Amino acid sequence: MGRASRYVCSWIHAIRNLAVNLFCSWLTSYIRFLEIFFKRWLGKFLYYLVFVLLTLVTFSEYLIVLPYEDVVRPSVVLNIYRILGVYFLINIIFHYHKACSVDPGRPIQTHTPPICAVCHWCKPARSHHCSICGRCVLHMDHHCVWINQCVGFYNHRYFIQFITFLWISQILIIYSNCHAFLDHFAKLDRPDEVPFCTEEVAVPWNEFFCANMPNLITSCVCFSFGLAVLLFFVLGGFCAWNFYLISVGETFVDFMQHVDNFKQCGSWRSPYHLSFLLNWQRFLGLVPGKTFIRNILWPSSHLPIFDGFIQTRYHNAISV
């Protein structure tokens, strides 16, 4: 009986160890999968998702909402909406592509102190190591999955202009879509009474849409308006936070490193702060020869005003 008991206990112990090893192996593989997913696939998926959403909203605005408003509430303002829509779309696509494609900047790979404890290369002031990118980034603000890389020195302006133009465009969509949304939402459960179809909007695609996909018309109008309301609040808060950081001369990583000093001192001042105006000139790269209208309101690929390594060049580039 004792031998049988020992045999059963050994068998249970072996099964338990096997189960633990299988679970640990599965957990390790799952974590590795998540790591690869977040590093390689999620960013690419979100990149294409942005363009899908832009296409869907543009489709809704120019093929449904604005033609509908031309019939129901005709106004010369609608042509202004069309022009502004194209302007914002160009800026959004340009700055998003730049934020995704321009390298945020990396330190020169030397062994000059200070040295990064992870990648063992030179780590200048305001540079930080990103565990997702696996490298140090100049003036790192944060890692953004929506652009599939870090927001750093060379693409920070593009990123901020992207979210700013996107936020302002949501205000335009909310204002221009409000009446069309209310009209179509009221008929949400009655596909045979879709306002776009009952008003007989005189566009070539009216008959095809109304005969084959009336529900899609209502869905596009409601989705476009709902997405605009959501982005208005989310991006509004995000823009306000980033505008504050820029105004005091900080990045998000800088702020997190200095937040304890701020709590202790109350009136603490960032070591990178110049002044409100100079901070924005530095961030936007508005040196002599660069203007707000030509280089900020319109797409521009001008480089930052300093190389990211020497703090005194902040002052030199702006005061020239």
CA-nearest of 150, 138, 147, 79 to 309 is 138
In sequence order, the 6+-apart residues with CB closer than 8 A to the CB of 111 are 120, 121, 122
Q: Is 144 a catalytic residue?
A: yes
162 contacts: CB under 8 Å, gap ≥ 6: 92, 95, 96, 98, 99
Half-sphere CA count of 125, side-chain side, radius 13 A: 9
Q: Could you tell me where the DSSP H helices lie in the chain?
A: 2-36, 42-60, 66-72, 77-101, 156-185, 195-198, 206-212, 214-247, 252-265, 276-284, 292-295, 313-319
Q: How far apart are CA 108 and CA 304, in angstroms?
A: 17
Neighbours of 218 (CB within 10 A): 26
| CA proximity to 158, closest of 84, 89, 104, 224 | 104
State the amino acid at position 291 in one-letter form: T
The neighbouring-strand residues paired with 137 are 128
CA 13 from chain centre, in angstroms, equals 51
Residue 122, helix vs strand vs coil: strand
Catalytic residue among 100, 122, 136, 144: 144
CB 46 within 8 A of CB 145: yes
CA angle 185, 190, 196 (to 5 degrees): 60
- Token pair for 168: 């302002």
Point out the residues that are catalytic: 144
